Amino acid sequence: MVKEDRLYLSWPNDKSKLEDSAFVKESDGILSAKKAINELHRWLGEEGYTQVLRMMCQRDVIVKA
């Protein structure tokens, strides 16, 4: 069993009485990159794209078609 004592940041909540430093910000970690990918996926769907093909040719080379 794992015991975790660290406190984690919360998602922003206007009704909370916690200080701003207790909340996750868009600039934290990979959140801004995930948001950009989500927006791209949304746009692709709106434009009618239904699938993306990704091939890994080599360990460090990825080809998207």
Q: Which residues, listed in sequence order, are joined to residue 9 by a DSSP beta bridge? A: none
Mean pLDDT of the chain: 82
Per-residue pLDDT band for 39 (boundaries 50, 70, 90) equals very high
Give the ranges where 1-65 is alpha helix by DSSP (H): 31-46
**Prediction pTM value:** 0.51
Pairing of strands 54-58, 61-64: antiparallel
| Contact indicator for 10, 18 with CB cutoff of 8 Å | yes
Distance CA 14, CA 16 (A): 6
Position 29 scores a pLDDT of 85
